[in-house]
Amino acid sequence: MDEVEKYQQEFFDESFKYIKKLNNSLLVIEKESDNKKSLNKAFRSVHSLKGMAAMMGYEKLAELTHKMESLLYDIRQGKLPLHKPVLDCLFTGLEYIEQLVFDIRTENNEKQNIKKYMHYVQQIIQGDFSVSFPDKDLEPAKKEAPLRKTENINSSGLQVTKDKLDKLMNKVQEQFLYQAYLQVVGTGHDIYQDLIQNLSEATDQLYEQLLQVRTLSAQELYSRLLPLVRSLSRKKNKKIKFRFEGANIRVDREITGELTTILIHLIRNAVAHGIEKPEIRKQRGKDSEGEISVQAAQDGDKINFRVQDDGSGLRIEEIARQAAQRGLVEPEKIKELTEQQKLDLIFEPGLSTASEVTEISGRGVGLDVVKNTVDKLQGEINLTTRVGAGTTFSVLLPCSRSYIRAYLFELNNRVFALPETEVRETIKAGPEDLEEICGRQVIVHQNTAVPLVVPGVCQDEKKFLDKFNDGSRFSLLIISRDSSLWAAAAEKILAQKNIIKISSGKQNIKLPELPIEYIGGVGLTADGDTVLLYTGQQD
C-alpha cells in the first residue's frame, strides 16, 4: 500500500496535467475537426492517463480511458466522423475522468459508476449516433463540482492560498528594496556591478513569475466554464455553439471567483431562457443551432466580458408590467421610464427570482445576484436586447481590485510611481529655481515654500541638482499629502498609467542611513513593468 502512497501525489500532478491537455485539445478539435495534431494530443493524453491508472491499479479509470482511447483511435483512423455526437461522447468521457480522479483524490475510491458511459461509448464506436447520454448518471450530488474540480486541475494540482502568495509577493518586494540599497552602496565598485545586475534581473523575473501565478488567462477561465455549459445545453435539449474570444486577457485571481459566478449565471440564463429550442428556431427562420459567445477584451484599465446569445431576446414591456405587478415600480410611472430603464428593472431582486417571469421574459433567474456581484467588484453591467434577435450582457470590471492610477517617473534609472490622487501638478524646473532654506532645498510655488524630496535611495538633493548644472531641466511633481506639500524630483515624467498596487502596508525595513521606507511597495503596469511606489516623507 505504501507503494501507492509514494506515487500518489505524482499521479495526481500528472493526471491534472493530462486532463488539462485533453480538455484543451478537445476544444481545438471541436472547432477544427481536421486538426490532426490536436487529435493526436488528445489520444496521447488519454493514453498516458490509461498507463498511469493501470500502474496505480485504478481499474475504472484504466477501463474508461482504454475505451476512450479506442474511440479516439477510430476517429484518428477516419472510421468515425468528428461530429457532435462523437464530440459529446468525448467531452462526457472527460467529465468522467475528472470525476474519477476527483473521487480518488478525495476518497481514495473510484466511486463513480461508469457502466452507462461505457455502454454509450460502445454504441458510438459502433456508429450508432442516435443515442444521447443521460446526464444524470454523473454524481448528482456534485452538480457544481465540475467547477471546483477544474479549479484544482487548472492549478496543476497545486493549491496556494492567496495569503501565501501575498506573503511571497511581499518578500519579493523586500528584495526589491535591498537590491535598491545594494545599488547605492555598490556604485563605484566594479566587481559588484555585475552581481547587482544579475540580482536585479533575477528579482524582476521572480516577480514576473509571481504575477503570472496571481493572474489567470481568460482561456483558463473558459475551460472551467466549458464542462458546465456543455452539460447544461445537453440537459435542455438545445443545440448550441459556444464561442470564446479574448483567451489571452489576464484576470487577477482576486476577482476570478466572482467573475466565474457572473459568467455562469449569464451563460446559464442564455442557455435556459435565451436560446430557443431547435424547432422554434427553425420556425423563426433561424439556424437550428444557437450561438452563445463570451468575449473578453481589455478596455483601458478595465476588462470587459460580453455574454451574447442569438436567442429570443427580452420583452421589455413584459418586464415593466411584471415589475409594476410586484410593486417594484408604480404603475403610473412606467410610462415615464425609458426603454433602457424598463430593461434595467430585470436586475431588481423581486423580479428576477420569480420563475414565471422567467418563462415570459425569456431571461432573468438570479440577475440580481449578478448585479450585486458586479457592484461588489465596483464594476458595471449593461444589457441590450432585441426581441427575436438575442440579448447581450456586458460586464465591465476593474482589472484588479487594487489598481491605482499613477504618474510614472524616472530617477537614477529607476521607475517610480506616485498615485495620481496625490499629485497636484507637475512643473519643469532648473537648479536656479530652488533655494536653500534652513539647510533644505525649497522651491517657491504659488507663494508657498515647497521642500524638494528626491525619491528612492539616492536621496542627496544637492547631488541631484548638480546633474542639471548644464542648464538642462528636470520635472517636479507637486505632491499634496496630509495637508502639506512636497516637490518630488524626477529626471523625466514618463506617463500616467494604471498600476496594480501590490502591497499597501509599509515595509518596516530598516536599512542603515537610507530613508528607504519612503518606498511603499511595488506596482505593476499593464505592460508588466515593475515600478516602485513612492510614499514620500511621512514623518
Which of 11/120 has CB closer to other proteins? Answer: 11
Judged by CB under 8 A, the number of residues near other proteins is 23
Residue 289, classed as helix, strand or coil, is: coil
Q: Which stretch binds other proteins (CB under 8 A): 38-46, 298-306, 330-338, 498-506?
A: 38-46
Q: Closest approach of Cβ 68 to other proteins, in Å?
A: 11
Residues 70-109 that bind other proteins (CB under 8 A): 70
Residues 6+ apart with CB under 8 A from 229: 240, 242, 267, 271, 292
Which of 71/478 has CB closer to other proteins? Answer: 71
Which of 63/368 has CB closer to other proteins? Answer: 63
In this structure, are residues 223 and 338 in contact, taking their beta carbons and an 8 Å threshold? no
Q: Closest approach of Cβ 422 to other proteins, in Å?
A: 51
Residues 454-473 that bind other proteins (CB under 8 A): none
Distance CA 171, CA 109 (A): 40
Run of H or E including 471: none
Distance CA 158, CA 152 (A): 7
Q: Does 286 bind other proteins (CB under 8 A)?
A: no
Q: Does 331 bind other proteins (CB under 8 A)?
A: no
- Calculate the dihedral angle through the C-alpha atoms of 229, 231, 234, 239, rounding to the nearest 10 degrees: 20
Distance CA 309, CA 295 (A): 11
Which of 54/389 has CB closer to other proteins? Answer: 54
In this structure, are residues 487 and 440 in contact, taking their beta carbons and an 8 Å threshold? no
Q: Which of 47, 76, 236, 481 binds other proteins (CB under 8 A)?
A: 47
Residues 294-313 that bind other proteins (CB under 8 A): none
Residues 223-242 that bind other proteins (CB under 8 A): none
Q: Closest approach of Cβ 161 to other proteins, in Å?
A: 26
In this structure, are residues 121 and 64 in contact, taking their beta carbons and an 8 Å threshold? no
Q: Beta-carbon neighbour count of residue 408 at 10 Å?
A: 20
- Calculate the dihedral angle through the C-alpha atoms of 226, 231, 236, 242, rounding to the nearest 10 degrees: 20
Distance CA 464, CA 411 (A): 9
Q: Beta-carbon neighbour count of residue 414 at 10 Å?
A: 18
Q: Does 41 bind other proteins (CB under 8 A)?
A: yes
Distance CA 500, CA 523 (A): 5
Cell (9 digits) for 360: 415570459
Which of 70/353 has CB closer to other proteins? Answer: 70
Q: Which of 28, 33, 35, 44 binds other proteins (CB under 8 A)?
A: 44
Q: Does 48 bind other proteins (CB under 8 A)?
A: yes
Q: Closest approach of Cβ 37 to other proteins, in Å?
A: 10
Q: Which of 249, 261, 190 is nearest to 225 (CA)?
A: 261
Which of 54/145 has CB closer to other proteins? Answer: 54
Residue 461, classed as helix, strand or coil, is: helix
Give, in order, the Cα–Cα distances in Å from 397 to each of 200, 349, 454, 527: 33, 21, 36, 19
Q: Does 528 bind other proteins (CB under 8 A)?
A: no
Residues 51-70 that bind other proteins (CB under 8 A): 51-52, 54-57, 62, 66, 69-70
In this structure, are residues 406 and 493 in contact, taking their beta carbons and an 8 Å threshold? no
Which of 50/497 has CB closer to other proteins? Answer: 50
Which of 54/354 has CB closer to other proteins? Answer: 54
Q: Does 18 bind other proteins (CB under 8 A)?
A: yes
Q: Does 158 bind other proteins (CB under 8 A)?
A: no
What is the contact surface with other proteins in residues (CB under 8 A)?
A: 7, 10-11, 13-14, 18, 40-41, 43-44, 47-48, 50-52, 54-57, 62, 66, 69-70
